[in-house]
Structure formats: C-alpha cells, structure tokens
C-alpha cells in the first residue's frame, strides 16, 4: 500500500477553508508538545503566543504596525508571482523607497507643511518603482534572470543606504553616528489611534488590499497576468505581451515596496538609519504564498505573521522562552500551513491496487478525509 498525490481537478470550498484551521490545530498541538518537552507550561505558552498580544488595544495596534509593510509588499509581489514574474528583491525596493522618501523629509527638515507627507509618499513609491525597473529592463531587454538581478540589487540598496547615513544624510548634531536627523512632525505619518503607533499607512494598506483584488479579478491587465502565468503560450496566442506583464509586475511590486519602506521611516522609525527593515521584503514572499496569492489571504497571512513575531516576544518576556524555541515554533506554523495547503491542490491516494483506492479510510490523515465532504 503506497500513498501518492493526485492533482485535483477542482478544489472543494470546504477544503479551502478547512486546511488553515487544521494547520492551526496541528501547530498548537505540536507546539504544546514542544513546550512541554522543554519544561515550559504548554497552555500558558500557547496563550501567551497567540492570545495575549490580542488582549490590549496597544497589542492590536502593534500587530497592525507590523503587518502593514508585509501586506503592502505581499500584495505587490502576488501580482508578479501570478504572472510568473519573480521579484525577490522587494527588500531593496523597500530600502530605496525609504531613501527617496526620507531624503525629501530631510531636504525640508526646517520647513513644515501639509504638502510634505504626500510628496514623501510619491518620492518613496517612485524610488521603489525605479529600483524595480532595473530588473524589469534587464529581463525584457536581455532576458536576464529577474530573480538574481532583483536579489542582488537588494545588497546594493542596503549599502547605498549605509553610505548615505554615514555621509550626506548624517545628522550634523549626532556625534557622527550613522543616523539622519529625526523627522519633524509634518514629515511623520499621523496615528490612527491615539497613544499607539498605528499609523495612516495601515489604512492605506487596507485600501491596497481592495485595489489589488479589483485589479486581479476585474481588469483586463489582471486577466492577462493570470493567463500569462498559467500558460505563457496561450497568452502569446491571445496577443498578450509578456514584456508588459513583466513591467507591470515590477513597477507595481517595486512601488508598493517603496511605499512600505517610506511608511516605516515616516511611521514607527521616524528617521533614516542603517537598518530600516528586519527583512520585510523577504518575509513578504512567505506572506504572499501563505495567503495563496489572494489579496484577502495575504491580509490574513500578514496579520498572522505579525502575531507570530509579537507572540514570540511575549513568550520571551512572560515565560523566558529563548528566541530559538519561538523560531522553531514559527517554523512549525509555516510548515503546517504550507503543508496543509498541498491538499487544496492535491488529494492523497492510498494505492493497494488500482481498484481498491478508497479502502484504507481509517489510515488516512484528517486532511485527506475532508476531501469527501
């Protein structure tokens, strides 16, 4: 009797909604086992990880702050991924967005005005788009791998930022430490809830979720992206331009990553410093796939990812769990989620003989059994 995977012709809705629930239960169970094995109270640890960050207004706001860049970038990336365009360098585009938008804020460090923030957002978005345009150009002109080019440009962007904060953009009163001046009030994003850090960027991210859904589901270009992604040849016969899709994917994802970078420096950070992102551009790739490349899925995945970071901190503070254990736990969560996702596209078959495929019901894992529903 051998298990094998078989492509589903269509995915039942029940499976689509059940797999995340099952994955969450599996994570909670094996996480509990892990915590107990290491001598920490399992229920308390799970509570601290998943529930406690949600019990205060500030905790909720912080999840919004953390999820904002992940969702913004994830939406942008998902458009490209659907069209088989692999932008791995969102981190670099984010950095350029932070640089360009931040440079505007610093250029007007002694001038206040309501026009400043919009100008920064435009500059940041354009900066990200420009950085995304490089791999797009090299791809469409010379067929250079956009994966490598966009990834490598990330390091260029990070070092460029490092150069700027060590040099031209360094705070003149900062004892030569590599940081810019602090942005003044009209260069900072207004907060949505008083006494929290939840900023306007979170609301814009929500708007982008809706816009992203609209573009992919209701517009011609969204349709073209999907067709080219599924079968490039068919797209070609239909007269859809692959180059156009590459450009559109990189400009959108680059622009949104740039905007996310600007939101970080004009939001929670409030200045330019050598590190403006703990790898949001890379984490957003996970978020995009975790959300099944669907805008609403990405929103949920971004929030879950944010919760896992906050939960990791809470268990460190409340129970003294070392960071490595929370890292393992986060890994398990992703593993189960993505693993369970397999069953939305494939079904598990136990082959004893070609005819007796369904006889082994009792031995099947829960996920596989759901397909009958």
Partner 1 sequence: MKTKTWTLTRRAALSLAAGAMALSAAATMPGGAAVAQDDPLKVGFVYVGPVGDHGWTYQHDKGRQAVVEKFGDAVKTTYVESVPEGADAERVINQLAQSGHDLIFTTSFGFMNPTVKVAKRYPDVMFEHATGYKRADNVSTYAGRFYEGRYPIGVMAGRLTESDTIGYIAPFPIPEVVRGINAFTKGLHSVNPDASVKIIYVNSWYDPGKEREAAETLVAQGADILVQHTDSAAPMQLAEEKGLIAFGQASDMSQFGPNAQATAIVDDWSDYYIDRVQAVMDGTWESQDTWGGLNSGMVQLSDFGPKVPEDVAKEATQIVKDIESGDLVIFEGPIKDNAGEVRIAEGEAASEEDLLSMDWYIEGIDAQLPKN
Residue ranges that bind partner 1, judged by CB under 8 A = 56, 58, 62, 65-66, 158-159, 162-163, 166-168, 170, 175-179, 182, 195, 197, 264, 267-271, 273-278, 309-310, 313-314, 316-318, 320, 322-324
Q: Which is nearer to partner 1, 313 or 370 (CB)?
A: 313
Q: Which is nearer to partner 1, 168 or 331 (CB)?
A: 168
The CA-based diameter of the chain, rounded to the nearest angstrom, is 79
Instruction: Report the nearest approach of partner 1 to the CB of residue 164 (Å).
Output: 9
Decide if 73 contacts 268 (C-beta within 8 A).
no
Enumerate the β-bridge partners of residue 2. 351
286: its two tokens: 């996970």
Q: How many whole angstroms separate alpha carbon 38 and alpha carbon 308? A: 20
Instruction: Report the nearest approach of partner 1 to the CB of residue 212 (Å).
Output: 23
Q: What angle do CA 76, 290, 140 make, to 5 degrees?
A: 35
Strands 2-7, 346-351: pairing is antiparallel
Helix (H, G, I), strand (E, B) or coil at 3: strand
CA distances from 145 to 44, 74, 136, 139, 229 (A): 48, 21, 10, 6, 16
Sign, CA dihedral 328-330-333-338, equals negative
Q: Which is nearer to partner 1, 235 or 281 (CB)?
A: 281
CA distances from 328 to 34, 83, 150, 205, 333 (A): 9, 32, 29, 29, 9
Q: Which is nearer to partner 1, 117 or 269 (CB)?
A: 269
Q: How many residues does the chain have?
A: 373
Q: Which is nearer to partner 1, 222 or 270 (CB)?
A: 270
Q: How many whole angstroms separate alpha carbon 179 and alpha carbon 174? A: 7
Q: Which is nearer to partner 1, 51 or 356 (CB)?
A: 51
Q: Which is nearer to partner 1, 232 or 274 (CB)?
A: 274
**Terminal Cα distance for the chain, rounded:** 24
304: its two tokens: 């879950």
Indicate the DSSP class of residue 265: I
Q: Which is nearer to partner 1, 115 or 163 (CB)?
A: 163
């Amino acid at each position: 009797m051998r298990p094998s995977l078989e492509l589903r012709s269509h995915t039942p809705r029940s499976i689509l909604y059940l797999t995340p629930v099952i994955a969450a239960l599996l994570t909670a169970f094996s996480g509990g086992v892990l915590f107990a094995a290491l001598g920490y109270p399992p229920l308390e640890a799970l509570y601290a990880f998943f529930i406690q960050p949600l019990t205060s207004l500030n905790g909720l706001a912080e999840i919004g702050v953390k999820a904002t860049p992940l969702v913004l970038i994830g939406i942008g990336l998902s458009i490209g991924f659907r069209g088989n365009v692999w932008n791995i360098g969102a981190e670099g585009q984010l950095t350029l967005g932070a640089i360009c938008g931040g440079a505007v804020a610093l250029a007007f460090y002694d001038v206040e005005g309501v026009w400043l923030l919009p100008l920064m957002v435009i500059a940041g978005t354009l900066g990200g788009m420009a950085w995304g345009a490089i791999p797009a150009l090299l791809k469409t002109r010379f067929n250079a791998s956009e994966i490598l080019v966009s990834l490598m440009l990330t390091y260029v962007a990070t070092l460029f930022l490092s150069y700027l904060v060590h040099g031209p953009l360094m705070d003149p009163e900062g004892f030569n430490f590599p940081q810019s001046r602090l942005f003044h009030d009209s260069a900072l994003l207004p907060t949505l809830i008083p006494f929290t850090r939840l900023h306007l960027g979170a609301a814009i991210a929500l708007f982008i979720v809706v816009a992203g859904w609209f573009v992919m589901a209701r517009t011609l270009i969204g349709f073209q992206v999907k067709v080219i992604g599924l079968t490039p040849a068919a797209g070609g016969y239909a007269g859809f331009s692959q180059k156009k899709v590459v450009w559109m994917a990189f400009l959108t994802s680059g622009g949104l990553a740039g905007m996310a970078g600007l939101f970080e420096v004009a939001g929670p950070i409030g200045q330019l410093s050598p590190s403006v992102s703990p790898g949001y551009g890379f984490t957003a790739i996970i978020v995009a796939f975790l959300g099944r490349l669907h805008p609403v899925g990405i929103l949920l995945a971004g929030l879950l990812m944010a919760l896992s970071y906050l939960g990791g901190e809470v268990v460190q503070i409340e129970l003294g769990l070392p960071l490595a254990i929370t890292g393992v736990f986060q890994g398990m969560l992703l593993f189960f989620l993505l693993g369970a996702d397999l069953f939305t596209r494939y079904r598990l078959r136990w082959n004893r003989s070609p005819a007796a495929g369904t006889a082994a019901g009792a031995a099947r894992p829960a996920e596989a059994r759901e397909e009958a529903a």
